[in-house]
Amino acid sequence: MTHQMIDASGFFAIPGGLARPRLGAVLAAPMLLMLLLVAWPTTARWSDRPQEPQRSAAHGASEKPKMPRAKSPPLALRADVQALGFGASGTVVGVVLAVAPEDRDRLGERCRVGLSIHDEERLVDRQSAVISFDEDGTALLYYEWPAGSYELRVEVASIDTEASGLWIGDIEVGTADQPFVPEEGATVDAVALEAPPADTGSVRFLPPPDRGGIGGLQLEVEVPEATASVEFFQDGVAMGQRNRPPWTVSVTLGDVVRRTVVRAVARDARGRSLGEDAIVLNNPTGQLGVEILLGEPDQATGTRRVTVAVSGAKRLQQVTLSIGKRTVARWATCPCITELDETELREAAILAADAVDATGARGDSVLPLAGSGGFMGSVRVELVELPAVVLDPNGTPITGLGADAFQVFEDGTEVTVDGFGTTADLPLSLAIAVDTSGSMQEIFPQVRDIVAGFAGHLLRPGDEVLVTVFSWDTRILLDWTTSVDEIAGKLDAIEPDGGTSLHDAAIRSLEQFRGRRGRQALVLLTDGEDTTSRTGWRTAERYARTMRIPIFTIGLGVGRLDFSSRGVLKDLAEETGGASFFPTNVDELASVYARIDELLRSQYLLWYSSPSDKPNEELREVRVELVGVEGSVRTIRGYYPGK
């Protein structure tokens, strides 16, 4: 782990460092902060520059903190940066801020902190957060930055008083050899930066008795519970399919020792891919076998699942995945699975992965991509999924239809529908996030009743609901439960106050879905844009795409010309397969929730095998028509095939 050194501005590092960059040692944060305060020499210079911090123009009128010209001496500030571990694409750092003891009372309860880092040529990152300093005058924030040398600028302005200050210093962000692991109860900015965890429900080859040779070998895979079949491939050639456990396959290695790759793809009863894994046999001695598996495209989210399979590792230390020269994911254990944007993959030249274990053995793999024109190699789209909603001439969803009510066409040619179902067949885990900032105070009694009524009407036996509320911070008001009767009472005890931490609310709410299965959705209500989150929009968006939970956003009173607020809410919905709504007043809110109820309960799912031989870069147009039913169908208009 890289530690910071003292510079002319009084910037320094913790002597000795931490044995392992786990957040628990930091979040027991008094210990880290005490070390910092003890380590700071009394001669280290506090900042004393009477400069006025800048204020973002994005704050709402009712919530914007006052950041006036300094009418009193500036706050004396100090800052330190500590590498805590690697995240998804960079180094997660803890930024410790401290004000001089004599200035603590001048800060008030809450402050807006603006941080930016610059290299010699450009602005690398800029973040803003509303936080509270501890009684000892310290605060801890978390960010993910690329390794390098930077100038750090920290601006602090009290929301309650006229106190403000500025600190500027040089920092060195180093690399880390362990993943960043936040512990239970971590702040939301720490949770959002956790390195991707291993997917416990994934496909995994069990270690074979040996790693190859000649003759034959039997392999077995572990698969998710919902698996109905497993397809096996050897060096890209289909070997066959098993439709029941044990999920085994016999591999012929031949009479000559040669490297061979065996791949397994698990599917559910509807033919949908549940994941895949690969194992490398007869890999050169001293090398790890590494394979990049590019999954089928997800039409709803515009992403592809990418799996990095590693064979032959002894106590795996790190696996890295890159698009071109940019690192997009890191793992400390396998399975190594992530979701990547389809558009970015289509424009990239290569995907590269490398791995290293505790013995120092390494391995790598490079997957060529066509770059600006589609993926290289053969096209293999075995299954096309079509989520569809049928509306009558009045816009009301039509339910109860069978597969014979649909005709599906691809590029004008009718295709055979292989499967059909409704999302209502599966239990629902529903999270409801409610804005309780000060601007919601007047209308909150109506909001409370509408939200409680929505949950009561939507949920069925077997469904569960969770409620979070957010203003300055986000908290779980009601944990997962099948009882909706508690919602109104819990919300009744809330007194709206404070700012709007929308980004934090999305992250904290999505975090609660970890380990859950079945249908899932988040319905998020707010009356304005984010003003006080600890996390930025890019971090929240990345987390939402990682969790892959549909988000239905409601912008209450967000006007047509409020492009920034509408854009964030639309993006959250579109990126996750949900929908966005913008009622002008609280009287329209009930109808919005009713519409979400209809959409969640009336969706059909159709799937078919594509007969097309179009190249990857050409769009395949899709049309769904009704048979004997008057109405219209909403579904995807087309798709690009995947590898």
Predicted TM-score (pTM) of the model is 0.51
- Minimum mean pLDDT range among 64-68, 171-175, 186-190, 335-339: 64-68
Helix (H) or strand (E) holding 411: none
pLDDT at res. 15: 30
Condensed to tens digits (0 to 9), the pLDDT of residues 392-403 reads 888 788 888 988
Residue 67 tokens read as 């950041």
The yes-or-no verdict on residue 526 having pLDDT over 90 is yes
pLDDT for res 426: 58
* pLDDT-wise least confident of 19-33, 239-253, 427-441: 19-33
pLDDT of residue 205: 87
- How confident is the model at residue 17, as a pLDDT? 32
pLDDT at 116: 94
pLDDT at residue 222 greater than cutoff 70: yes
Exposure class string for 573-585: b at 16+ Cβ within 10 A, else e: bbbbbbbbbbbee
pLDDT confidence of residue 374: 42
Share of the chain above pLDDT 90, in %: 21
Helix axes 537-547, 502-511, angle to 10 degrees: 20
pLDDT at 149: 93
pLDDT tens for 223-269 read 988 888 999 988 878 888 888 888 999 888 776 667 788 989 998 87
Q: What percent of the chain has pLDDT over 70?
A: 78
Q: What is the pLDDT of residues 447-459, one digit of tens each?
A: 989 998 888 888 8
Per DSSP, the residues of 303-349 read EEEEEEEEES-SSEEEEEEEETTEEEEEESSS-EEEEEEHHHHHH-S
Mean pLDDT score of the chain: 78
Contact between residue 565 and residue 435 where contact means Cβ atoms under 8 Å apart: no
Q: How far is CA 354 from CA 155, 364, 635, in A?
A: 39, 4, 39
Residues in the chain: 643
Least confident of 256-260, 287-291, 354-358, 385-389: 385-389
Q: Which domains does the chain have, with CATH numbers?
A: 23-191 (2.60.40.380), 204-368 (2.60.40.10), 384-418+609-639 (no CATH), 427-601 (3.40.50.410)
Q: How does residue 423 score in pLDDT terms, banded at 50, 70 and 90?
A: low
pLDDT in tens, 75-133: 999 999 999 988 877 899 999 999 988 899 998 989 999 999 999 888 999 988 899 99
Distance CA 526, CA 261 (A): 50
In this predicted structure, what is the pLDDT of residue 466?
93
Asked whether the predicted pLDDT for residue 160 surpasses 70, the reply is yes
- Is the pLDDT reported for residue 564 higher than 60? yes
pLDDT in tens, 41-84: 433 445 654 444 333 333 333 444 444 444 678 999 999 999 99
Tokens representing residue 105 in the block: 């009372």
**pLDDT value of residue 80:** 92
The pLDDT-based confidence of 548 (bands split at 50, 70, 90) is low
pLDDT band at 191 (very low <50, low <70, confident <90, very high): confident
pLDDT tens column, 356-381 = 887 778 888 877 775 534 443 333 33
- For the ranges 141-150, 448-457, 517-526, the lowest mean pLDDT is seen at 517-526
